[in-house]
Amino acid sequence: DVKVTQSSRYLVKRTGEKVFLECVQDMDHENMFWYRQDPGLGLRLIYFSYDVKMKEKGDIPEGYSVSREKKERFSLILESASTNQTSMYLCASSLTGDSNQPQHFGDGTRLSIL
């Protein structure tokens, strides 16, 4: 089974801090994704990556950046955390960019910015 592991289940940070969310997948997947999940809004794509050192903006990239130095690891960075970034963050991976390939999700990180 594919395993996508997010480093923290719960995280509390302060406004203005630089925050790192880490995600690791163990199935040699090409693609990795970061979403945020908010009630009534479903999942919204922040950034995704189709290859090492490659990244593309999703629908809501403002205030975020990402890093993919190794194929198995995809990091989401909040450059200067703000209270409106309090949310559930979900990482996902898929084998290829083919639309037949489902995405596999981690258990999420619930981030609170005070």
Partner 1 sequence: GNSVTQMEGPVTLSEEAFLTINCTYTATGYPSLFWYVQYPGEGLQLLLKATKADDKGSNKGFEATYRKETTSFHLEKGSVQVSDSAVYFCALDDYKLSFGAGTTVTVRA
Place of tokens 């089974």: 1
Other C-beta atoms closer than 10 Å to the C-beta of 35 total 24
Sole window of 11-19, 63-71, 73-81, 98-106 interacting with partner 1 (rule: CB under 8 A)? 98-106
Nearest to partner 1 of 14, 23 (CB atom):
23
Whether 2 and 103 have beta carbons less than 8 Å apart is answered as no
The phi, psi pair for 84, rounded to 5°, reads -75, 0
Pick from 8, 22, 43, 61 the residue near partner 1 by CB under 8 A: 43
| Closest distance to partner 1 from the beta carbon of 38 (Å) | 9
Q: How many CB atoms lie within 10 A of CB 91?
A: 27
Angle of CA points 73, 55, 35, to nearest 5°:
70
Closer residue to partner 1, CB minimum distance, 84 or 100: 100
Cα–Cα distance measured from residue 94 to residue 107, given in angstroms and rounded to the nearest whole number: 15
Residues 62-91 interacting with partner 1 (rule: CB under 8 A): 90
| x-marked contacts with partner 1 along 11-40 as a string, rule CB under 8 A | ----------------------x------x
- Which residues contact partner 1 by CB under 8 A? 4, 33, 40-45, 48, 58, 90, 92, 97, 99-100, 102-108
